Structure 1
Amino acid sequence: MKPEMITLKHGDTTIKMPTSSLVKLAAASVFAQVLPPAANVQPVAIGEIPALGAVWPGQGGLNGGLVAERGDVPAHYLIFASEDAGSHEWGRRGETSGATSKTDGLANSAILLEEGSHPAAKAASQYTADDHNDFYLPAAAELYQGWLNCPEVFAQDCYYWSSSQRSAYNAFSVTFDDGHQGTTGKDHELRVRPVRRFFI
Protein backbone atom coordinates (compact mmCIF):
# COMPACT_ATOMS: atom_id res chain seq x y z
CA MET A 1 0.00 0.00 0.00
CA LYS A 2 1.44 3.34 -1.07
CA PRO A 3 1.75 6.05 1.57
CA GLU A 4 -0.47 9.09 1.26
CA MET A 5 1.61 11.89 -0.31
CA ILE A 6 1.44 15.64 0.09
CA THR A 7 2.91 18.33 -2.18
CA LEU A 8 4.23 21.62 -0.79
CA LYS A 9 4.95 24.60 -3.03
CA HIS A 10 6.78 27.79 -2.17
CA GLY A 11 7.79 30.03 -5.05
CA ASP A 12 9.66 27.90 -7.57
CA THR A 13 10.29 25.10 -5.05
CA THR A 14 8.11 21.99 -4.85
CA ILE A 15 8.51 19.27 -2.25
CA LYS A 16 6.60 15.98 -2.37
CA MET A 17 6.68 13.75 0.71
CA PRO A 18 4.59 11.22 2.63
CA THR A 19 1.99 12.90 4.85
CA SER A 20 3.32 10.97 7.87
CA SER A 21 6.78 12.50 7.35
CA LEU A 22 5.34 16.01 7.29
CA VAL A 23 3.42 15.34 10.52
CA LYS A 24 6.66 14.17 12.19
CA LEU A 25 8.53 17.27 11.02
CA ALA A 26 5.75 19.55 12.26
CA ALA A 27 5.65 17.83 15.65
CA ALA A 28 9.43 18.05 16.02
CA SER A 29 9.28 21.77 15.19
CA VAL A 30 6.58 22.38 17.80
CA PHE A 31 8.43 20.40 20.48
CA ALA A 32 11.63 22.32 19.77
CA GLN A 33 9.75 25.52 20.56
CA VAL A 34 7.86 24.42 23.69
CA LEU A 35 10.15 21.98 25.50
CA PRO A 36 12.31 23.39 28.32
CA PRO A 37 15.83 24.46 27.30
CA ALA A 38 17.39 21.44 29.01
CA ALA A 39 15.66 19.15 26.52
CA ASN A 40 16.96 21.14 23.54
CA VAL A 41 20.66 21.37 24.36
CA GLN A 42 23.25 20.55 21.73
CA PRO A 43 24.68 17.01 21.77
CA VAL A 44 27.85 16.48 23.78
CA ALA A 45 30.93 15.55 21.79
CA ILE A 46 32.10 12.06 22.76
CA GLY A 47 35.60 13.29 23.62
CA GLU A 48 34.15 15.61 26.27
CA ILE A 49 32.51 12.89 28.38
CA PRO A 50 34.51 12.14 31.56
CA ALA A 51 35.05 8.62 32.85
CA LEU A 52 32.34 7.15 35.05
CA GLY A 53 32.72 8.55 38.56
CA ALA A 54 34.95 11.41 37.41
CA VAL A 55 34.15 15.09 37.86
CA TRP A 56 32.19 16.55 34.96
CA PRO A 57 33.45 20.17 34.83
CA GLY A 58 30.69 22.72 35.05
CA GLN A 59 27.95 20.14 35.69
CA GLY A 60 27.98 20.14 39.49
CA GLY A 61 29.38 16.71 40.21
CA LEU A 62 30.38 13.28 38.94
CA ASN A 63 29.47 11.35 35.81
CA GLY A 64 26.98 8.68 36.90
CA GLY A 65 26.44 7.33 33.41
CA LEU A 66 23.94 7.52 30.57
CA VAL A 67 20.24 6.92 31.11
CA ALA A 68 18.26 5.90 28.03
CA GLU A 69 15.13 7.76 26.99
CA ARG A 70 12.13 6.59 29.02
CA GLY A 71 8.61 7.82 28.32
CA ASP A 72 8.66 11.60 28.00
CA VAL A 73 12.12 11.94 29.63
CA PRO A 74 14.84 12.29 26.94
CA ALA A 75 18.18 10.47 27.21
CA HIS A 76 20.48 12.13 29.75
CA TYR A 77 23.48 11.64 32.01
CA LEU A 78 23.11 11.37 35.77
CA ILE A 79 25.34 13.84 37.60
CA PHE A 80 25.84 12.76 41.20
CA ALA A 81 26.87 15.45 43.65
CA SER A 82 30.52 15.16 44.69
CA GLU A 83 29.49 14.89 48.34
CA ASP A 84 26.59 13.79 50.49
CA ALA A 85 24.00 16.24 51.76
CA GLY A 86 24.09 14.80 55.29
CA SER A 87 21.95 12.13 56.93
CA HIS A 88 18.20 12.68 57.18
CA GLU A 89 14.92 10.90 57.77
CA TRP A 90 12.82 10.07 54.71
CA GLY A 91 9.87 11.44 56.65
CA ARG A 92 6.17 10.95 57.37
CA ARG A 93 6.40 7.35 58.53
CA GLY A 94 2.99 5.71 58.57
CA GLU A 95 1.66 7.88 55.73
CA THR A 96 1.39 6.85 52.10
CA SER A 97 3.24 9.11 49.66
CA GLY A 98 2.66 9.54 45.94
CA ALA A 99 6.43 9.19 45.33
CA THR A 100 6.34 5.63 44.00
CA SER A 101 8.33 5.77 40.75
CA LYS A 102 11.31 3.40 40.74
CA THR A 103 12.98 5.34 37.91
CA ASP A 104 11.97 9.02 38.05
CA GLY A 105 13.54 10.65 41.10
CA LEU A 106 12.79 14.14 39.80
CA ALA A 107 9.05 13.42 39.74
CA ASN A 108 9.24 11.67 43.12
CA SER A 109 11.09 14.59 44.66
CA ALA A 110 8.56 17.11 43.35
CA ILE A 111 5.81 15.08 45.03
CA LEU A 112 7.74 14.79 48.30
CA LEU A 113 8.46 18.52 48.41
CA GLU A 114 4.80 19.30 47.73
CA GLU A 115 3.68 16.90 50.47
CA GLY A 116 6.13 18.50 52.91
CA SER A 117 7.97 17.04 55.92
CA HIS A 118 10.33 14.90 53.82
CA PRO A 119 13.80 15.92 55.10
CA ALA A 120 15.86 13.74 52.72
CA ALA A 121 14.18 15.13 49.59
CA LYS A 122 14.41 18.67 50.95
CA ALA A 123 18.15 18.33 51.65
CA ALA A 124 18.79 16.99 48.13
CA SER A 125 16.76 19.78 46.51
CA GLN A 126 18.66 22.47 48.43
CA TYR A 127 22.05 21.28 47.20
CA THR A 128 23.79 23.53 44.67
CA ALA A 129 27.07 23.20 42.77
CA ASP A 130 28.54 24.99 39.74
CA ASP A 131 25.48 27.28 39.80
CA HIS A 132 23.15 24.30 39.29
CA ASN A 133 20.18 24.19 41.64
CA ASP A 134 18.18 21.40 39.99
CA PHE A 135 19.37 18.53 42.20
CA TYR A 136 16.91 15.99 43.60
CA LEU A 137 16.76 12.74 45.61
CA PRO A 138 17.40 9.87 43.17
CA ALA A 139 14.84 7.13 42.55
CA ALA A 140 15.75 3.54 43.42
CA ALA A 141 16.93 2.73 39.87
CA GLU A 142 18.97 5.95 39.62
CA LEU A 143 20.67 5.23 42.94
CA TYR A 144 21.36 1.66 41.85
CA GLN A 145 22.93 2.99 38.65
CA GLY A 146 25.38 4.82 40.90
CA TRP A 147 26.37 1.49 42.43
CA LEU A 148 26.70 -0.13 39.00
CA ASN A 149 28.81 2.66 37.50
CA CYS A 150 30.77 4.33 40.29
CA PRO A 151 30.24 2.76 43.75
CA GLU A 152 33.61 4.04 44.96
CA VAL A 153 32.36 7.65 45.09
CA PHE A 154 29.82 6.77 47.81
CA ALA A 155 30.42 5.90 51.47
CA GLN A 156 30.74 2.13 51.86
CA ASP A 157 29.57 1.75 55.47
CA CYS A 158 25.98 2.98 55.33
CA TYR A 159 22.73 3.06 53.40
CA TYR A 160 21.54 5.85 51.10
CA TRP A 161 17.93 6.93 50.67
CA SER A 162 16.14 6.76 47.36
CA SER A 163 13.04 8.86 46.69
CA SER A 164 11.01 5.70 45.92
CA GLN A 165 8.46 4.74 48.54
CA ARG A 166 7.96 1.05 49.33
CA SER A 167 5.01 1.39 51.71
CA ALA A 168 3.52 3.78 54.23
CA TYR A 169 6.31 2.77 56.62
CA ASN A 170 9.32 2.11 54.37
CA ALA A 171 11.23 3.47 51.38
CA PHE A 172 13.87 1.88 49.14
CA SER A 173 17.53 2.26 50.07
CA VAL A 174 20.92 1.10 48.73
CA THR A 175 24.28 0.33 50.33
CA PHE A 176 27.38 0.79 48.20
CA ASP A 177 29.74 -1.81 49.65
CA ASP A 178 27.76 -4.61 47.97
CA GLY A 179 24.89 -2.90 46.15
CA HIS A 180 22.23 -4.33 48.44
CA GLN A 181 18.81 -2.87 47.72
CA GLY A 182 16.54 -2.93 50.70
CA THR A 183 13.78 -1.06 52.45
CA THR A 184 14.23 1.03 55.56
CA GLY A 185 11.79 2.63 57.99
CA LYS A 186 11.07 6.22 56.97
CA ASP A 187 11.99 7.47 60.44
CA HIS A 188 15.63 6.29 60.12
CA GLU A 189 18.37 8.75 59.21
CA LEU A 190 20.23 7.58 56.09
CA ARG A 191 22.72 9.33 53.81
CA VAL A 192 21.47 11.59 51.05
CA ARG A 193 23.32 11.95 47.72
CA PRO A 194 21.76 14.57 45.42
CA VAL A 195 21.65 13.98 41.69
CA ARG A 196 20.73 16.05 38.63
CA ARG A 197 20.18 15.38 34.94
CA PHE A 198 22.43 16.57 32.13
CA PHE A 199 20.50 16.28 28.86
CA ILE A 200 22.39 15.37 25.72
Structure 2
Amino acid sequence: MRTITLPLFGALLATHGGHFGAILRGAAADGSQDYALIVSEASADIEDTTWSEDYTTIAGADSKTDGQANTDAMAAAGLQLALRIKALDLGGHTDWYLPAAAELRALSATVPELFQQKDWYWSSTQYSSTSAWCQVFEYGDSSAYGKDCEFRARPVRRVQLQHLST
Protein backbone atom coordinates (compact mmCIF):
# COMPACT_ATOMS: atom_id res chain seq x y z
CA MET A 1 0.00 0.00 0.00
CA ARG A 2 1.33 3.40 -0.99
CA THR A 3 1.34 6.17 1.60
CA ILE A 4 0.41 9.70 0.59
CA THR A 5 1.51 12.64 2.72
CA LEU A 6 -1.18 15.29 2.62
CA PRO A 7 -0.80 19.00 3.37
CA LEU A 8 -2.73 20.70 6.15
CA PHE A 9 -6.26 21.79 5.30
CA GLY A 10 -6.18 25.37 4.10
CA ALA A 11 -2.58 25.19 2.89
CA LEU A 12 -1.87 27.08 -0.31
CA LEU A 13 -0.88 24.65 -3.07
CA ALA A 14 0.36 27.02 -5.76
CA THR A 15 0.96 24.24 -8.27
CA HIS A 16 -2.71 23.29 -7.99
CA GLY A 17 -4.03 26.85 -8.16
CA GLY A 18 -5.50 27.25 -4.69
CA HIS A 19 -5.92 25.94 -1.16
CA PHE A 20 -6.29 22.34 -0.01
CA GLY A 21 -9.92 22.30 1.05
CA ALA A 22 -11.26 18.80 1.64
CA ILE A 23 -11.03 15.13 0.75
CA LEU A 24 -14.11 13.56 -0.77
CA ARG A 25 -14.93 9.92 -1.40
CA GLY A 26 -16.95 8.18 -4.01
CA ALA A 27 -17.10 7.89 -7.74
CA ALA A 28 -17.83 11.02 -9.74
CA ALA A 29 -19.28 11.08 -13.24
CA ASP A 30 -15.76 11.29 -14.67
CA GLY A 31 -14.79 7.99 -13.00
CA SER A 32 -12.65 9.56 -10.30
CA GLN A 33 -12.69 8.09 -6.83
CA ASP A 34 -11.19 9.79 -3.79
CA TYR A 35 -10.11 13.32 -4.57
CA ALA A 36 -8.88 16.52 -2.97
CA LEU A 37 -10.94 19.64 -3.43
CA ILE A 38 -8.85 22.70 -4.28
CA VAL A 39 -10.45 26.04 -3.37
CA SER A 40 -9.57 29.08 -5.48
CA GLU A 41 -8.25 32.23 -3.86
CA ALA A 42 -10.89 34.57 -2.38
CA SER A 43 -10.06 37.05 -5.15
CA ALA A 44 -11.75 34.63 -7.57
CA ASP A 45 -15.10 34.96 -5.77
CA ILE A 46 -17.93 35.96 -8.02
CA GLU A 47 -19.94 38.40 -5.92
CA ASP A 48 -23.63 39.30 -6.06
CA THR A 49 -24.50 36.74 -8.67
CA THR A 50 -27.67 34.81 -9.31
CA TRP A 51 -27.73 31.07 -9.94
CA SER A 52 -30.16 31.73 -12.77
CA GLU A 53 -32.56 34.45 -13.78
CA ASP A 54 -35.11 31.89 -14.96
CA TYR A 55 -37.16 29.46 -12.95
CA THR A 56 -36.54 26.38 -15.04
CA THR A 57 -35.29 22.94 -14.19
CA ILE A 58 -31.76 22.35 -15.50
CA ALA A 59 -31.42 18.69 -16.48
CA GLY A 60 -28.32 17.14 -14.94
CA ALA A 61 -27.71 19.84 -12.30
CA ASP A 62 -29.10 17.98 -9.31
CA SER A 63 -26.16 15.91 -8.04
CA LYS A 64 -25.43 16.60 -4.39
CA THR A 65 -21.86 15.32 -4.76
CA ASP A 66 -20.61 16.03 -8.31
CA GLY A 67 -20.23 19.76 -8.85
CA GLN A 68 -18.27 19.22 -12.03
CA ALA A 69 -21.20 17.41 -13.71
CA ASN A 70 -23.67 19.99 -12.35
CA THR A 71 -21.59 22.90 -13.67
CA ASP A 72 -21.30 21.23 -17.08
CA ALA A 73 -25.10 20.87 -17.19
CA MET A 74 -25.57 24.50 -16.13
CA ALA A 75 -23.15 25.69 -18.81
CA ALA A 76 -24.84 23.56 -21.47
CA ALA A 77 -28.11 25.30 -20.54
CA GLY A 78 -26.41 28.69 -20.98
CA LEU A 79 -26.37 29.79 -17.33
CA GLN A 80 -24.01 32.75 -16.98
CA LEU A 81 -22.65 31.72 -13.57
CA ALA A 82 -21.43 28.37 -14.89
CA LEU A 83 -20.09 29.90 -18.10
CA ARG A 84 -18.08 32.45 -16.11
CA ILE A 85 -16.56 29.77 -13.91
CA LYS A 86 -15.77 27.43 -16.80
CA ALA A 87 -13.99 30.31 -18.58
CA LEU A 88 -11.58 30.89 -15.67
CA ASP A 89 -7.84 30.34 -15.97
CA LEU A 90 -6.48 30.50 -12.41
CA GLY A 91 -2.97 29.43 -11.60
CA GLY A 92 -2.69 27.87 -15.04
CA HIS A 93 -5.73 25.64 -14.47
CA THR A 94 -8.93 25.77 -16.52
CA ASP A 95 -10.93 22.95 -14.89
CA TRP A 96 -12.71 25.09 -12.26
CA TYR A 97 -16.33 24.41 -11.39
CA LEU A 98 -19.06 25.43 -8.94
CA PRO A 99 -19.03 22.95 -6.03
CA ALA A 100 -21.98 20.67 -5.34
CA ALA A 101 -23.89 21.00 -2.06
CA ALA A 102 -21.96 18.18 -0.33
CA GLU A 103 -18.64 19.64 -1.51
CA LEU A 104 -19.56 23.02 0.02
CA ARG A 105 -20.60 21.32 3.27
CA ALA A 106 -17.21 19.55 3.39
CA LEU A 107 -15.45 22.89 2.89
CA SER A 108 -17.57 24.41 5.64
CA ALA A 109 -16.37 21.68 7.99
CA THR A 110 -12.67 21.84 7.07
CA VAL A 111 -11.77 25.35 5.87
CA PRO A 112 -14.50 27.84 6.79
CA GLU A 113 -11.84 30.51 7.30
CA LEU A 114 -11.27 30.65 3.53
CA PHE A 115 -14.75 32.08 2.98
CA GLN A 116 -16.61 35.26 3.91
CA GLN A 117 -18.30 34.09 7.09
CA LYS A 118 -21.64 35.91 6.86
CA ASP A 119 -22.18 35.52 3.11
CA TRP A 120 -24.08 32.75 1.38
CA TYR A 121 -22.34 30.82 -1.40
CA TRP A 122 -24.08 29.10 -4.28
CA SER A 123 -23.64 25.40 -4.88
CA SER A 124 -24.21 23.86 -8.29
CA THR A 125 -26.91 21.60 -6.82
CA GLN A 126 -30.39 22.52 -7.96
CA TYR A 127 -33.13 21.93 -5.39
CA SER A 128 -36.12 22.61 -7.64
CA SER A 129 -37.04 24.66 -10.69
CA THR A 130 -37.05 27.77 -8.49
CA SER A 131 -34.22 27.18 -6.00
CA ALA A 132 -30.70 25.82 -5.50
CA TRP A 133 -28.63 24.83 -2.46
CA CYS A 134 -26.45 27.43 -0.72
CA GLN A 135 -23.96 27.37 2.16
CA VAL A 136 -23.07 29.95 4.80
CA PHE A 137 -19.72 29.49 6.55
CA GLU A 138 -20.30 31.45 9.76
CA TYR A 139 -22.29 28.66 11.38
CA GLY A 140 -22.28 25.95 8.70
CA ASP A 141 -25.91 26.12 7.62
CA SER A 142 -27.13 24.87 4.23
CA SER A 143 -30.41 25.92 2.71
CA ALA A 144 -32.20 26.21 -0.62
CA TYR A 145 -32.86 29.75 -1.87
CA GLY A 146 -34.46 31.22 -4.96
CA LYS A 147 -32.24 31.02 -8.01
CA ASP A 148 -32.65 34.76 -8.55
CA CYS A 149 -31.11 35.68 -5.15
CA GLU A 150 -27.70 37.34 -5.30
CA PHE A 151 -25.00 35.42 -3.44
CA ARG A 152 -21.30 34.65 -3.84
CA ALA A 153 -19.80 31.78 -5.82
CA ARG A 154 -16.33 30.28 -5.25
CA PRO A 155 -14.70 28.13 -7.93
CA VAL A 156 -13.10 24.83 -6.98
CA ARG A 157 -11.29 22.06 -8.83
CA ARG A 158 -10.50 18.46 -8.01
CA VAL A 159 -7.18 16.68 -7.87
CA GLN A 160 -6.77 12.92 -7.53
CA LEU A 161 -5.12 12.16 -4.20
CA GLN A 162 -2.20 10.33 -5.81
CA HIS A 163 -1.44 13.52 -7.81
CA LEU A 164 -1.61 15.83 -4.82
CA SER A 165 1.79 17.27 -4.05
CA THR A 166 2.70 19.31 -1.03
Q: Shorter chain as normaliser: what TM range?
A: 0.7 to 0.9
Letter in 2 for 1:69: G
1:75 aligns with 2:37: no
Q: For this pair of structures, how many residues does the alignment match? A: 155
Name the CA shift for 1:50/1:87 in 2 (closer, same or farther; >3 Å).
farther
- Which residue in 2 is equivalent to 1:110? 72
Larger Rg: 1
d(CA) in 2 for partners of 1:172, 1:93? 16
Letter in 2 for 1:81: S
Say which structure, 1 or 2, has more relative contact order (CA 8 Å, 6+ apart). 2
Unaligned runs of 5+ in 1: 1-42
1:58 aligns with 2:20: no
SS at match of 1:70: coil
| Superposed counterparts of 1:1-200, under 5 Å | 45-46=4-5, 49-70=6-27, 72-83=31-42, 84-98=45-59, 99-116=61-78, 118-199=79-160, 200=162
d(CA) in 2 for partners of 1:163, 1:79? 16
Letter in 1 for 2:69: A
Q: Which moved more, 1:118-127 or 1:132-141?
A: 118-127
Cα root mean square deviation, aligned: 1.6
Name the CA shift for 1:130/1:92 in 2 (closer, same or farther; >3 Å).
same
Q: Which moved more, 1:79-88 or 1:187-196?
A: 79-88
Q: What is the deviation of 1:67?
A: 1.3
Letter in 2 for 1:111: A
Unaligned runs of 5+ in 2: none
Q: What is the deviation of 1:57?
A: 2.4
SS at match of 1:58: helix
- Tell me the percent identity: 35
Provide the TM-score with structure 2 as the length reference: 0.87
